[in-house]
Copies of this chain bind each other. A is one copy, B any other.
């Protein structure tokens, strides 16, 4: 960011008229660790908030190798070309510094979308804690919606806590799988299957169609064992071949049916309000933690006390109280 910074109003006006250069620069501000950038970013976000919210937010996860990029490319093009929607693609990957290339690090993996006038692909920020990345992703959603994108795809990898974060910022959560049920789940963390509003078994092509169908039946029967979601939506299972564009429209139909189902019953807005509540409490906790853990004296005490707690020399509650007395003085 060596150029002169635009003003708050230049950013807001630019974003609201769909200026991608200003949108991208504003997102860079969000991701910046400099206080000056953060302060300006917050003003821009506040200015964009009244124009945000009018979108369908979709989370997509699956282990590396499941074909996420190809799927998003095919799915995104369908959304734009056949559904006449606009699309922003974001990613949450707190570990991206280690796994570069596995997620949106490389824009060229989504060549068509990256160059499409109705799409906006934002590469993953290169580093940051999950809390930080989750916050900047939520703020980025606000800006993208204010810029007029009415479909938001958020990609993440199925190997960490990031699914929980993404799950609590989207309306619909899609899990990508491969056929050969069982083995390929190794990389997916426990609990993620239960978050899915739909499972899509990808690579149902090249002689793999029957295996994919069998996997579909297995997942359907497994999902049947899970208790129903609050809205009464039953998670759907489908097969697709992203590389051949097969089954992609069916998956959009599922998303569309989900949105209609939850909007009719008021669950769509209810979930958004719950998510807002959740993120407020998360933000409060995060701010409390920040002021606590950034304290150098406490840091040193905590290291010692953590060892004592692990060794059963002191209870966690007494430890916490000792630390708190020091913190609040």
Residues in chain A within 8 A of chain B (CB atoms): 42, 45-46, 49-50, 52-53, 135, 138-139, 142, 181-182, 185-191, 193-194, 218-219, 221-222, 224-229, 273, 276-277, 279-280, 282-289, 291-292, 305-306, 309-310, 312-321, 323-324, 328
**Residue among B138, B279, B285, B312 making CB contact with A53, cutoff 8 Å:** B312
**Residue among B283, B285, B306 making CB contact with A277, cutoff 8 Å:** B306
Residues of B within 8 A of A313 (CB): 49-50
Copies in the complex: 2
Are A289 and B285 touching (Cβ within 8 A)?
yes
Given contacts A314-B46, A319-B280, contact A225 B285 (CB under 8 A): no
Distance from A222 Cβ to chain B, minimum over Cβ atoms (Å): 5
Are B227 and A284 touching (Cβ within 8 A)?
no
Distance from A188 Cβ to chain B, minimum over Cβ atoms (Å): 6
Residues of B within 8 A of A277 (CB): 306, 309-310
Residues of B within 8 A of A188 (CB): 227
Are A289 and B287 touching (Cβ within 8 A)?
no
Given contacts A49-B312, A194-B191, A315-B139, contact A284 B292 (CB under 8 A): yes
Are B182 and A283 touching (Cβ within 8 A)?
no
A selection of 19 A-B contacts at a CB cut-off of 8 Å is A42-B318, A45-B318, A135-B317, A182-B225, A189-B227, A190-B229, A191-B191, A191-B194, A194-B194, A219-B225, A221-B222, A273-B310, A276-B312, A283-B316, A283-B317, A285-B289, A287-B324, A288-B324, A291-B328
Residues of B within 8 A of A317 (CB): 42, 135, 139, 283
Residues of B within 8 A of A309 (CB): 276-277, 279-280
Residues of B within 8 A of A320 (CB): 280, 283-284, 286-287
Residue of B nearest to A142 (CB): B315
Distance from A134 Cβ to chain B, minimum over Cβ atoms (Å): 11
Residue of B nearest to A49 (CB): B312
Given contacts A191-B191, A194-B194, A287-B324, contact A316 B279 (CB under 8 A): yes
Cα distance A134–B31 when bound, in Å? 37
Cα distance A279–B312 when bound, in Å? 12
Residues of B within 8 A of A291 (CB): 324, 328
Residues of B within 8 A of A273 (CB): 310
Residue of B nearest to A317 (CB): B283
Distance from A224 Cβ to chain B, minimum over Cβ atoms (Å): 6
